[in-house]
A = this chain, B = another copy of it.
């Protein structure tokens, strides 16, 4: 009934932090880490590995930089079998920010890039792998990638020291048949080299969980989710739904449900994510969420219908 190769990666703190400049309280981060550890999640992503050269620590929380001190403080005293990952955006980290693995509690570095930047991602993969980390590449906005570019990228990535390459539906635009297509496309290049296919969905069309299931059906084994679907704008695949779908008895659902009740339902009253019509509109039009973010910030003086028609017509021309 279950596939033991499947790895669940929770990116609640990392992706959720995009809503609030990573300014979660330490207490919140520790409560999430504790619930995820009790539920048997394979990887827990604490934040970004970014350099203070590029971002000000005055403006962003500590999960933007993920110093060793910060991570150790977040996990100290909490029993856990989970591995720890951080995300790295190309061009936003200095090589010296990445310690040798033997000096770090981080297990995996996930390198995020657009398909056009895959060469830079590969350089960073090699740098991280040489220092002893597990690595993945997460190809963002795959719903707008041109197929020859994507195929060339996958061909090159198949030669790298990678655990997984992710399909990232950044715009929340994909449907099941497209998910099937991408998983099969990725798997053709990667599986023969022992590299897994990963899936990271956004929930603009309420399809993040459904599309994660469809990716599983086609063989994806690295699955991203977040508690209560938290994440920028529409959010992500809700972890609690994913765990209830997976039949592996190593996972427990009740710690996640309890942390939702204690931490996320109050938080949802302070910061906004989930099914929001401006983000639904950018999702159905396969567009970057920036227009939706502007709309929700009150910068667009149009009705929802006008906003949709305006974006749609721009998209057609």
Point out residues on A near B: beta carbons under 8 Å: 175-177, 203, 205-211, 213-214, 217, 229, 238, 240-241, 244-245, 253-255, 257-258, 260-261, 265, 274-275, 277, 280-281, 284, 303-309
In-complex Cβ contact of A260 among B209, B214, B253, B304 (8 A): B304
> How distant is A179 from chain B, measured CB to nearest CB, in Å?
11
Majority-rule SS of A interface residues: helix
Q: Are B257 and A305 in contact (CB under 8 A)?
A: yes
Q: Are B206 and A241 in contact (CB under 8 A)?
A: yes
Please measure, in the bound complex, the distance between the C-alpha atom of A23 and the C-alpha atom of B145, giving whole angstroms: 49
> How distant is A41 from chain B, measured CB to nearest CB, in Å?
15
In-complex Cβ contact of A255 among B245, B254, B257, B305 (8 A): B305
Number of copies: 2
Given A213-B176, A275-B274, A284-B241, is A305 in contact with B258 using a C-beta cutoff of 8 Å?
Answer: yes
Please measure, in the bound complex, the distance between the C-alpha atom of A305 and the C-alpha atom of B210, giving whole angstroms: 23
Q: Are A209 and B209 in contact (CB under 8 A)?
A: no
Given A175-B213, A213-B176, A244-B284, is A257 in contact with B207 using a C-beta cutoff of 8 Å?
Answer: no
Q: Are A238 and B303 in contact (CB under 8 A)?
A: no
Please measure, in the bound complex, the distance between the C-alpha atom of A305 and the C-alpha atom of B243, giving whole angstroms: 13
Please measure, in the bound complex, the distance between the C-alpha atom of A89 and the C-alpha atom of B268, giving whole angstroms: 38
In-complex Cβ contact of A308 among B207, B209, B257 (8 A): B257
In-complex Cβ contact of A261 among B210, B211, B277 (8 A): B277
B-chain residues with CB within 8 Å of residue A275 when the two chains form the complex: 229, 238, 274-275
Q: Are B245 and A210 in contact (CB under 8 A)?
A: no
Please measure, in the bound complex, the distance between the C-alpha atom of A304 and the C-alpha atom of B307, giving whole angstroms: 38
Q: Are A304 and B175 in contact (CB under 8 A)?
A: no
Q: Are B213 and A209 in contact (CB under 8 A)?
A: no
In-complex Cβ contact of A253 among B217, B254, B308 (8 A): B308
- Chain B's closest residue to A244 (CB) is B284
B-chain residues with CB within 8 Å of residue A240 when the two chains form the complex: 277, 280
Given A176-B213, A206-B206, 13 other A-B residues pairs in contact with their CB atoms under 8 A: A176-B176, A206-B238, A207-B210, A209-B210, A238-B275, A240-B277, A240-B280, A241-B284, A244-B284, A254-B304, A254-B305, A257-B307, A258-B303
